[in-house]
Structure 1
Amino acid sequence: MQFAEQDERVRVVAMNGSRVNSKVLVDIFQDYDIVYLVTDVQSFIEDCDWTDYFGEKIIMQMPDAMGDSLEDNDGRFAYLMLLADGNRIDLRLFPLSLQATYIHEDKLIDVLLDKDQRMPELLPPTDEDYHITSPTAQQYANCCNEFWWVSTYAAKGLWRQEMIYVLDHLHLYIRPMVLQMLTWQVGIDTAFKVSIGKNHKYLQSFLEPSVWTQLLATYPTADEEKIWQALDVMMDLFRQTACDVAKQMNFEYDTVQDQKVRTYMHHIRYLSPEAQDFDL
C-alpha cells in the first residue's frame, strides 16, 4: 500500500484470493494476491529491482517472462515473490485499459485503494465463480469412459514392469477422474454451492472419513503389488461414487463397461510374465 500510494503510475490497488474469501480459514501461509492497475506496465518490467521494496526475497518468479508467454498475453504482468519473512506476494500488474476485464474475471475482489475513483461499486466478494458445477450426462459418461479406458494402460504397464509409465497414468489420468466424480458428489450434496479449492484441497472436509481413507489408499509407492491394490481401491471407489451420482442425477452408469474392464484387469494381474498370448 505504501509503494502504491507513493508511485503515481499505480492508480488502483485490489486484493483477490483466499484473504478476501470469508469461507477460508486464515493461516500463516496464505498468499497476498494483489493487483495494481497502472498507467504503464512496461516501465515495471524493464527493471525488476523495484520489487526489493517489499523485502528480502527467497525466490521470485515472473511467469509472463518465461518462454513465449510475454508475446501472447494482453499486457498484464505478474511478479510472484516469496519473502524471507515467510510472506508471499503474488503481485499482478494490469494496464488501466484492462480494468473491465479484471473486474469481470473474478468476483473475489476487495478494492484497497482507488486514487481516481475509477472503480465501480462492487458486490461483496464471493467465491461463487469457483463453485462446483453440475455435470451434463455427456460429461458424466466421458468421465466414466476415461477412467475405465486409461485403467487398462496401467494394467499393461504393470505387466511390462514399466513403473514410471504406470504411475504417470495413475496420477495424471486415472485419479483425476475419481476426484472429478467425488467432486460432483460433493456438489450434489451441497446443491452446488461450495468450492473445494485449488487441487481439491478442501475435499476432505466434505467426505465421509471412510471415503477419505479409501481415496488416500489410491496413492501407492512404486511397488507392483501396492499399485495393484491401489487400483483395486480406486476402481471400487469410482464405481460406488459414479453409481451414487448416476442415481441422484438420473444418469445411466455403464455396468457392462465396468465389468468387462475389471475382468480384463484381473486377467492381466495374474498373467504370466512369460505369456506369449493374451488368452482371456
Structure 2
Amino acid sequence: MRTEKEVLSQFKEWAERNELIRAAILTSSRAKPDANVDFLSDYDIELYVSDLSKFKKSDDWLEEFGAIMVRWPFKPRSTGFKTGCWITRLVLFKDGVRIDFQITDQLKIDSDAYDNGYKVLIDKDEITKGLSKPTYSEYIIKKPSKEEYEVLVNEFWWNAYYVPKYLWRDELPFAKYMLDYTLKYSFLHKIIDWYIGMKNDWSVETGAFGKKFKKYLSSETWKEFKETYAGADIEENWNAFFNTITFFRKIAKKVGENLGYKYPDQVDKEVIQFCKKIKETKKID
C-alpha cells in the first residue's frame, strides 16, 4: 500500500497539471495533529474546480490514482455533503488506499468552513487565504437543554416496547432493527455522549457512531455497554434488550442528576412491567 507521502505527492502533481483544479483541501483525521491515523484511514479531499461538468460526466480522471476496486456512489452525484453544488466520489483502490473526494465549482470559501481542521494541498487562486485557524470544536459534545433531555429519555421508552413485541412474535428482523438501530443509535448513543461530555467538562468528542466510546468509558461501564449487543438467537436478544434498558436507565439518571433534570421514573416502571408481561405471556397454538 502507498504511504501518505506517496499518495499526497501523487495527488499534488496531478492537481498542479490539471487546469480545472483551482484548490484542494485535506480534511478529517489526516488533517488533525492529534488524530490516530492508521493504514485504513481515508484521505478526505475537497476539490474546488472551475468546471464541475467534467467531473459529473466521467470518472476517467480517477484512474490517475490507481486501479479502482469499488466506488460510491456508482455514478457521480450529490450526496447532500454540503449545501450548494457538490458531487461525491468515494473510491477504494485495489492497493487498499481510499480517497474520498467532494467536488464543487463554488470558488468562495467561508472563513470558518474548516473549523474542525484542514491542510491546504493546492491553492492556485488564493481562495483559501481567508480561512480561520481551526478550533477543532465542531463535534465537541454539547450540554443538552432540559427539553432535549426530557424528549430523549421519554421517547426512548416509547420505542423500547417494540423490541419485546417483535421478539415475542419471533419476528427477528424488526426486533433487531429496533434494538440495534433505533434504541442504540437514536437514544443510547446520545445519552452516552452526554455522559462522556459531562465527565469531561463538555470538551471532548466521541466520533461517528460512538467509535471513541471505549476510550472514554471505564472498563466496567464499557463491559455493560458491550452486553447490550447480541447475535441472532431470540433469547440472547431478550437478554440484550433488558441489558440495554438497564444500562440506559443508569446512564440517563446520572446525566439527569448532574444537570438537575428529572428522569421519568414512572414511565420507566410501567413500560418495564409491560415488557416483562409480554415476555411471560405464552403463545396459544
TM-fit CA distance, 1:101:
5.0
The equivalent of 1:26 in structure 2 is 37
| Residue 204 of structure 2 is aligned to residue 167 of structure 1 | no
The equivalent of 1:136 in structure 2 is 145
3-state SS, counterpart of residue 171 of structure 1: helix
Distance, in Å, in 1 between the alignment partners of 2:75 and 2:94 is: 23
Kept in 1, the 8 Å contact 2:163–2:175? The answer is yes
Distance, in Å, in 2 between the alignment partners of 1:251 and 1:44 is: 51
Segments of 5+ residues of structure 2 without an aligned counterpart are: 1-11
Segments of 5+ residues of structure 1 without an aligned counterpart are: 276-280
TM-fit CA distance, 1:122:
3.0
Q: Which structure dedicates a bigger proportion of its chain to helix?
A: 1
Q: 2:203 aligns with which of 188, 193, 200?
A: 193
How does 1:227-246 map onto structure 2 within 5 Å?
A: 227-246=237-256
3-state SS, counterpart of residue 122 of structure 2: strand
The equivalent of 1:146 in structure 2 is 155
3-state SS, counterpart of residue 92 of structure 1: strand
Q: Which runs of 4+ in 1 moved over 4 A?
A: none
Q: 1:155 aligns with which of 150, 154, 164?
A: 164
Distance, in Å, in 1 between the alignment partners of 2:203 and 2:68 is: 38
3-state SS, counterpart of residue 109 of structure 2: helix
Deviations 1:49-94 (A, max 9, x none): 111001111112237746x869x97321121111112110011211
Q: 1:222 aligns with which of 232, 235, 260?
A: 232
Q: Judging changes above 3 Å, is the alpha-carbon distance between structure 1 residues 146 and 256 closer, same or farther for their aligned structure 2 residues? A: same
Q: 2:95 aligns with which of 76, 85, 88?
A: 85
3-state SS, counterpart of residue 113 of structure 2: helix
Kept in 1, the 8 Å contact 2:166–2:172? The answer is yes
Q: 2:216 aligns with which of 203, 206, 212?
A: 206
Deviations 1:137-192 (A, max 9, x none): 11111111121111111111122111111111111211221111111000111122
Kept in 2, the 8 Å contact 1:64–1:78? The answer is no
Q: TM-score scaled by structure 2?
A: 0.89
User: 1:120 is matched by which residue type in structure 2?
Assistant: K
Kept in 2, the 8 Å contact 1:39–1:95? The answer is yes
Deviations 1:242-265 (A, max 9, x none): 110001111001111111111111
| Residue 121 of structure 2 is aligned to residue 112 of structure 1 | yes
TM-fit CA distance, 1:22:
2.1
The equivalent of 2:70 in structure 1 is 59
The equivalent of 1:264 in structure 2 is 274
The equivalent of 1:48 in structure 2 is 59
3-state SS, counterpart of residue 91 of structure 1: strand
Q: Judging changes above 3 Å, is the alpha-carbon distance between structure 1 residues 128 and 139 closer, same or farther for their aligned structure 2 residues? A: same
Distance, in Å, in 1 between the alignment partners of 2:283 and 2:61 is: 62
The equivalent of 1:278 in structure 2 is none
The equivalent of 2:5 in structure 1 is none
Deviations 1:218-257 (A, max 9, x none): 1112222111111111111111101100011110011111
Q: TM-score scaled by structure 1?
A: 0.90
Distance, in Å, in 2 between the alignment partners of 1:261 and 1:168 is: 19
Cα root mean square deviation, aligned: 2.1
TM-fit CA distance, 1:119:
1.8
3-state SS, counterpart of residue 96 of structure 1: coil
Q: Judging changes above 3 Å, is the alpha-carbon distance between structure 1 residues 61 and 101 closer, same or farther for their aligned structure 2 residues? A: farther
Identity of aligned residues (%): 27
Distance, in Å, in 1 between the alignment partners of 2:34 and 2:202 is: 15
Q: Judging changes above 3 Å, is the alpha-carbon distance between structure 1 residues 62 and 221 closer, same or farther for their aligned structure 2 residues? A: closer
